[in-house]
Amino acid sequence: MTDGPLIVQSDKTLLLEIDHDLSADCRHAIAPFAELERAPEHIHTYRITPLGLWNARAAGHDAEFVVDALLKYSRYPVPHALLVDIAETMARYGRLRLLMHPTHGLVLESSDQSVLEEVLRSKKIAPLVGKRIDEDTVAVHPSERGNVKQVLLKLGWPAEDLAGYVDGEAHPIALADDSFELRPYQREAAEGFWHGGSGVVVLPCGAGKTIVGAAAMATAKATTLILVTNTVSARQWKAELLKRTTLTEEEIGEYSGARKEIRPVTIATYQVMTTRRQGTYAHLELFDARDWGLIIYDEVHLLPAPVFRFTADIQARRRLGLTATLVREDGMEGEVFSLIGPKRYDAPWKDIEAQGYIAPADCVEVRVTLPDNERMAYSMAEPEERYRMAATTNFKNRVVEKLVAQHPDDHVLVIGQYLDQLDELSEHLQAPVITGQTPVKERERLFQSFREGKTRVLVVSKVANFSVDLPEAGVAIQVSGTFGSRQEEAQRLGRVLRPKGDKRSAHFYTIVTRDTVDADFAAHRQRFLAEQGYAYRIVDADELLYGQPDLG
């Protein structure tokens, strides 16, 4: 027995003692293969899953790496059966390989004939493959490359895709040498992606994921399709590419509800790609509009199902997914792994903060209590109505006003989900509001006014969760969210993490109604950030309003 910070249990859970001197080192060591499940104050619970182990394997880590990490940090002897299971699970990855055969084209090859026999007997695999070439090899139609990978992952035999990529149509793209220099982690992320061929780069909000995309484009030197969350994001990507690369205005097209431009670099929104006409997704043909050499999926954790389905058909194209968190509340991380690619680079938020590239953040949960009349109404409400009632209590408005007053010199974002609540807050604070109903031109005008300091407080809906560059924002106040979404919590904190000129900390407040589902959802939302090392202080709203010292 050693004095390590980790307790490894036979049910594949790992308990990490946060107060231990080696907890940070241990967290970094287990991050490539273990997923955080719970993160209270002192003991964090991680789980080892097959997908986590296969992600580690695809990133170049073998079973010895995982076993060594567990043995090094475990306080007690590690269950032998668990170590055996880890080795056997990781050994499943790559037992099947997709390759380009010199005669037969795309094939599925196995180093274990019995495994190939097993999967070929699956009713889901049989329609996707062609003739048997020999005892170890079967032909696969190129259009089924993605579908085969999806099904094999679900069968527990993830294929290693070594079939390579088409170069696509060449197009000259280079980074603008005189304007900036890649940060070390941005260079490592771009190189890690390119070496792997396809996959996902995970970086904190504000750490420059767009720059990683630009670096990948400069390496590919090919036509590029970029998929983004909304039109504002599309225009920010265009502005950043014009600033950071040699691309000109004429080389970059916008494919959105407003415009339908197809150029060597085309930026399209998820909304337009998933628009249906007479039951069909008319705009998905954009994937075939040019001989793309690279496809970039911004905020890949939001990728809609129709785009996933089409991505299965374009496996010969290099694919880069960018995100701050690979958490998907719908459990479709496996789809990202099989269709976009495995995680190629992941930088812990606190590491980037320590390097000075994102601001330190003070996270505070302000807890309010429902007045008696609202509490009784909440108790008698239908379950589906309870979150709205708890999240939109008027008592939160007073707390928001107090917090805004405590940060008179900061740019403040007030973020929520319910439009009537946001309109009310906008009126209370005498601040403009941006929602999905706000026209794109007006959104851009208000965001620019905020950037220039003409507008100090901005009330925003979830349209500002993603890919909105507001470097001046120093305070975010969250009044309601998309239920228990962990990735949304991370994105909202990310709005204020751009480094400040005077090195001051960012402030992230979330106002939560205690003894309701609002509190339950808040606890779930905070899990991802807890894994990254952020701790929430809890403040009572009454103390804040009636005598609590200044929080700023």
What DSSP assignment string belongs to 310-344? HHTT-TTSEEEEEES----TTSTHHHIIIII--EE
pLDDT value for 465 = 64
CA 525 to chain centre: 14
**pLDDT at 298 exceeding the cut of 60:** yes
**Are 304 and 245 in a shared domain?**
yes
Structure tokens at 239: 């502005």
Among residues 76, 92, 108, the one where a domain terminates is 92
pLDDT value for 177 = 76
Q: How far apart are CA 185 and CA 111, in angstroms?
A: 36
Tell me if 379 is assigned to some domain: yes
pLDDT value for 88 = 95
Q: How far apart are CA 296 and CA 303, in angstroms?
A: 11
**Are 391 and 403 in a shared domain?**
yes
Tell me if 276 is assigned to some domain: yes
**Are 416 and 287 in a shared domain?**
no
- Span 329-368, pLDDT tens digits: 667 788 888 899 988 888 777 788 888 888 888 889 899 9
**Are 539 and 493 in a shared domain?**
yes
Q: What's the mean per-residue pLDDT of the chain?
A: 88
**Are 235 and 121 in a shared domain?**
no
Name the β-bridge partners of 266. Answer: 225, 253
* Share of residues in the chain with pLDDT > 90 (%): 48
**pLDDT at 530 exceeding the cut of 80:** no
DSSP annotation string for 353-417: HHTTSS--EEEEEEEE---HHHHHHHHHS-HHHHHHHHHT-THHHHHHHHHHHT-TTSEEEEE-S
**pLDDT at 125 exceeding the cut of 90:** yes
pLDDT value for 179 = 64
Confidence of residue 73 (pLDDT cuts 50, 70, 90): very high
| Residue reference for tokens 């009310």 | 424
pLDDT value for 493 = 82
Name the β-bridge partners of 108. Answer: 98, 138
Q: How far apart are CA 299 and CA 437, in angstroms?
A: 22
Closest CA relative to residue 251, chosen from 237, 267, 242, 263: 263
Among residues 48, 64, 92, the one where a domain terminates is 92
Structurally, how many domains does the chain consist of?
4
| Residue reference for tokens 């719970």 | 38
Q: How many CB atoms lie within 10 A of CB 239?
A: 13
Q: How far apart are CA 169 and CA 263, in angstroms?
A: 12
**pLDDT at 370 exceeding the cut of 80:** yes
pLDDT value for 24 = 85
**Are 283 and 310 in a shared domain?**
yes
CA dihedral for 344, 347, 349, 355, sign (positive or negative): negative
- Span 251-264, pLDDT tens digits: 999 998 888 999 99
pLDDT value for 466 = 60
pLDDT value for 350 = 78
Closest CA relative to residue 171, chosen from 340, 65, 353, 294: 294
The angle subtended at Cα 105 by Cα 293 and Cα 136, nearest 5°, is 125
Tell me if 169 is assigned to some domain: no
pLDDT value for 284 = 81
Q: How far apart are CA 412 and CA 432, in angstroms?
A: 12
Name the β-bridge partners of 273. Answer: none
Tell me if 396 is assigned to some domain: yes
DSSP annotation string for 4-71: -SEEE-TTSEEEEETTSTTHHHHHHHHTTTEEEEE--SSEEEEEE-HHHHHHHHHTT--HHHHHHHHH
**Are 307 and 396 in a shared domain?**
no
**pLDDT at 36 exceeding the cut of 60:** yes
pLDDT value for 276 = 81
pLDDT value for 1 = 56
- Alpha carbon separation from 109 to 38, 140, 158, 229, 340 (Å, rounded): 40, 10, 12, 37, 21
**Are 393 and 513 in a shared domain?**
yes
pLDDT value for 41 = 66
What average pLDDT does range 32-57 have in this prediction?
Answer: 85
Q: Give SS3 for 526.
A: coil
**Are 88 and 102 in a shared domain?**
no
pLDDT value for 483 = 61
Q: How many CB atoms lie within 10 A of CB 220?
A: 22
- Does residue 84 or residue 289 have the better pLDDT? 84
Closest CA relative to residue 459, chosen from 411, 494, 393, 406: 411
**Are 48 and 189 in a shared domain?**
no
Quote the crossing angle between the two packed helices 50-58 and 63-73, to the nearest 10°.
120
- Span 58-70, pLDDT tens digits: 888 999 999 999 9
Question: Are 522 and 509 within 8 A, CB to CB?
Answer: no
Question: Are 472 and 450 within 8 A, CB to CB?
Answer: yes
**Are 114 and 258 in a shared domain?**
no
What CATH number is given to the structural domain containing 471? 3.40.50.300
pLDDT value for 329 = 63
Q: How far apart are CA 508 and CA 478, in angstroms?
A: 8
Domain that holds residue 23: 6-92
Indicate the range of 192-201, 271-280, 511-520 predicted with least confidence.
Answer: 271-280
Q: How far apart are CA 454 and CA 247, in angstroms?
A: 31
**pLDDT at 157 exceeding the cut of 90:** yes
Among residues 161, 193, 213, the one where a domain terminates is 161
Confidence of residue 550 (pLDDT cuts 50, 70, 90): low
pLDDT value for 70 = 96
* CB burial string 435-449: b at 16+ within 10 A, e below: beebeeeebbebbee
Highest mean pLDDT among 243-257, 461-475, 481-495: 243-257
Amino acid symbol at 420: D
**Are 486 and 380 in a shared domain?**
yes
What average pLDDT does range 258-273 have in this prediction?
Answer: 90
Q: Kindly list the strands in the beta sheet with 34-38, ordered across the sheet, starting from the edge strand earlier in the chain.
A: 6-8, 13-17, 43-48, 34-38
**pLDDT at 547 exceeding the cut of 80:** no
Tell me if 178 is assigned to some domain: no
Q: How many CB atoms lie within 10 A of CB 88?
A: 11
pLDDT value for 551 = 57
pLDDT value for 356 = 87
Tell me if 174 is assigned to some domain: no
What's the whole-model pTM score?
A: 0.82
Q: Give SS3 for 418.
A: coil
**pLDDT at 55 exceeding the cut of 60:** yes
Q: How many CB atoms lie within 10 A of CB 19?
A: 9
What average pLDDT does range 539-551 have in this prediction?
Answer: 75
CA 316 to chain centre: 24
**pLDDT at 134 exceeding the cut of 60:** yes
What are the start-end ranges of the H helices in 156-248? Answer: 184-196, 209-220, 231-244
**pLDDT at 548 exceeding the cut of 80:** no
pLDDT value for 174 = 93
Polymer length in residues for the chain: 552
CA atoms within 13 A on the CB side of 441: 1
Tell me if 439 is assigned to some domain: yes
- Alpha carbon separation from 372 to 35, 207, 369, 376, 393 (Å, rounded): 40, 45, 9, 6, 12
**pLDDT at 549 exceeding the cut of 60:** no
- Does residue 552 or residue 221 have the better pLDDT? 221
Tell me if 392 is assigned to some domain: yes
